């Protein structure tokens, strides 16, 4: 039994890093898909370079019009981004650094700075082989997808009895119902659900039938929606009624958590397309009210504003049916991951889910988890050192058990 101690902090740091790196993670929120979903799964260097995080960054330094950029092919956009953000200036941002981490992890030499050489690696790669390679490099055991029944291409895939890859777990994503009910109403009606815009009792019943139908099809880990900073609850609106009378009753019946991702200001700059969303501070009382009035429902919550993080931790202390997760999007940067992970451990111990990748491109699992593991290991080392100093002799099996909790067991125990 390896029992490091704080006198030998180097030993403890090395041991914690080793355990964190060797513990496979269950990534509970991504936008990647198993190979059976075809073109929905993005992968390879050109998709990495045209990730919307980098699109936002290239427009800050490049004299190109939105119109010209959007008429380019993915390869042309990737070339342009590589030139502007990597060759004409050091790739310091987290999104740029991430690509170099992927290139390095895949065995290329970043110092060559040769994009076409990296491209050659992908030319003959089979997607199924690449999924195995990336999951291995990233040490990811399973991921949860983002599955939208209102996406025509995705829905067609679910309607076929396709073979599934059990490393890819479904999540039933229902933003459309909540933020665009009138359009969703027409679509549901065209699928044979007897719904009307005014959301009477029969319509609410039919929406519950829709949710049950897709829960049966997808076998999701949770139902999820991204919500604006202005989101309120309870509310006499289509969104408020659908949450209260459809999502939460179905969630309770099926023991399906409702995952709320709160704080996105959609398309503050529409010319940036996916890169055009921004952030706003939300009202934490929404979470308090929902968790207290629906104590038999389970809620997974992540919030986008840094200013919401401390109060979200405190709220999680009040409600055992609330599980907070991830350093989402504009928070997924080392300086903020460190701050959030520290305050979460200080307020919640290990009863939280420290990170998800939000990967949109398969390869991103490599960098998003490498970068996050580095910070999580640093924070854990600090906390173990604090315990060790007061005589709580930290053992290697303690560290292994704790990291397994953070990297998947907490989620599994919460959702079981
Ligand atoms: O709503 C979401 O799932 C967000 O994560 C995405 O819309 C966002 O574009 C993203 O990928 C952030 O990392
Ligand atoms: Zn996401």
Residue 318 CA, ligand 1 centroid: distance in Å: 28
Residue 226 lies in a domain: no
For residue 52, which atom of ligand 1 is closest to its CA? 9
pTM as predicted: 0.97
Give pLDDT, residue 1. 42
Q: Which residue among 146, 358, 371 is best mutated to probe the pocket of ligand 1, counting the most ligand atoms within 8 A of its Cβ?
A: 358
Q: Which two tokens stand for residue 369?
A: 């988890």
What is the rounded CA–CA span in Å between residue 135 and residue 126? 14
Backbone torsions φ then ψ of 139, nearest 5 degrees: 55, 55
pLDDT at 120: 95
Calculate how far, in angstroms, residue 313's C-alpha sits from the geometric centre of ligand 1: 21
- 382: number of Cβ within 10 Å: 16
Choose among 45, 106, 135, 145: nearest CA to 365: 135
Residue 212 lies in a domain: no
Q: The tokens 């993670």 sit on which residue? A: 25
Partner residues linked to 302 by β-bridges: 261
Give the pLDDT of residue 6. 46
DSSP states along 302-351? EES-GGGHHHHHHHHHH-TTEEEB---GGG-SHHHHHHHHHHHHHHHTT-
Work out whether the CA dihedral 283, 289, 291, 296 comes out positive or negative.
Answer: negative
Tell me which residue range forms the domain holding 24: 9-42+126-171+257-415
410 membership: H or E segment, kind and range: helix 410-415
Indicate the Cα dihedral angle 45, 133, 353, 370, nearest 10°: -60
Q: Whose CA is nearest to atom 12 of ligand 1?
A: 329
Do β-strands 168-169 and 140-144 pair in parallel, antiparallel, or remain unpaired? parallel
Residues of the chain with pLDDT under 50: 1, 6
- State the CATH number of the domain containing residue 371: 3.20.20.140
Q: With a 6 A CB cut-off, is 274 part of the ligand 1 pocket?
A: yes
Give Cα 329 to chain centroid, integer Å.
8
Q: Is the CB of 327 under 6 A from ligand 1?
A: no
207 alpha carbon, distance to own chain's centre: 26
Q: How far is CA 54 from CA 59, 82, 98, 170, 211, in A?
A: 9, 10, 11, 27, 35
Q: Within a domain: residue 166?
A: yes
Please state whether beta strands 322-324 and 299-303 pair in parallel, antiparallel, or not at all (unpaired).
Answer: parallel
In a domain, 215, yes or no: no
Query: Is residue 385, in this structure, part of any structural domain at all?
Result: yes
The atom number, within ligand 1, closest to the CA of 226 reads 1
Asked if the structure places residue 93 within a domain, the reply is: no
Q: Examine residue 381 and state whether it is found in any structural domain, yes or no.
A: yes
- Tell whether 58 is covered by a domain: no
> Alpha helix locations (H) across 108-200?
115-123, 127-138, 152-159, 175-179, 181-190
pLDDT at 119: 96
Q: Which two tokens stand for residue 262?
A: 């709160």
């Amino acid at each position: 039994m390896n029992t490091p101690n704080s006198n030998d902090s180097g030993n403890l740091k090395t041991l914690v890093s080793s355990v964190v790196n060797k513990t496979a993670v269950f990534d509970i929120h991504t936008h990647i898909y198993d190979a059976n979903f075809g073109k929905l799964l993005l992968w390879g260097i050109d998709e990495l370079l045209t990730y919307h995080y980098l699109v936002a960054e290239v427009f800050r330094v490049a004299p190109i019009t939105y119109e010209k950029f959007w008429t380019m092919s993915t390869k042309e956009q990737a070339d342009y981004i590589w030139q502007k953000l990597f060759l004409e200036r050091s790739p310091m941002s987290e999104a740029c650094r991430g690509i170099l981490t992927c290139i390095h992890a895949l065995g290329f030499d970043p110092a060559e700075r040769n994009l076409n050489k990296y491209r050659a690696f992908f030319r003959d790669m089979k997607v199924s082989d690449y999924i195995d390679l990336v999951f291995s490099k990233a040490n990811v055991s399973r991921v949860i997808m983002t599955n939208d029944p209102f996406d025509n291409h995705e829905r067609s895939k679910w309607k076929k009895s396709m073979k599934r890859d059990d490393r890819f777990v479904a999540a039933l994503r229902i933003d459309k119902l909540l933020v665009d009910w009138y359009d969703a109403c027409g679509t549901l009606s065209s699928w044979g659900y007897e719904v009307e815009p005014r959301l009477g009792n029969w319509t609410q019943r039919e929406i519950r039938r829709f949710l049950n139908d897709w829960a049966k099809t997808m076998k999701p880990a949770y139902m999820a929606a991204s919500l604006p900073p202005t989101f309120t609850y309870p509310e006499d609106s289509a969104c408020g009624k659908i949450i209260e009378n459809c999502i939460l009753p179905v969630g309770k019946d099926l023991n399906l958590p409702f995952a709320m991702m709160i704080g996105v200001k959609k398309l503050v700059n529409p010319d940036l397309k996916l890169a055009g969303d921004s952030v706003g501070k939300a009202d934490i009382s929404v979470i308090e009210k929902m968790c207290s009035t629906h104590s038999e429902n389970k809620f997974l919550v992540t919030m986008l504003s840094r200013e919401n993080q401390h109060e979200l931790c405190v709220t999680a202390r009040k409600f055992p049916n609330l599980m907070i997760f991830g350093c989402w999007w504009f928070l997924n940067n080392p300086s903020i991951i460190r701050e959030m992970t520290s305050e979460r451990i200080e307020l919640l111990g290990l009863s939280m889910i420290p990170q998800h990748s939000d990967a949109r491109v398969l390869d991103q699992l490599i960098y998003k988890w490498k970068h996050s593991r580095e910070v999580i290991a640093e924070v854990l080392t600090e906390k173990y050192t604090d315990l060790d100093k007061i005589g709580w002799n930290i053992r290697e099996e303690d560290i292994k058990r704790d990291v397994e909790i953070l990297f998947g067991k907490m989620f599994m125990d919460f959702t079981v």
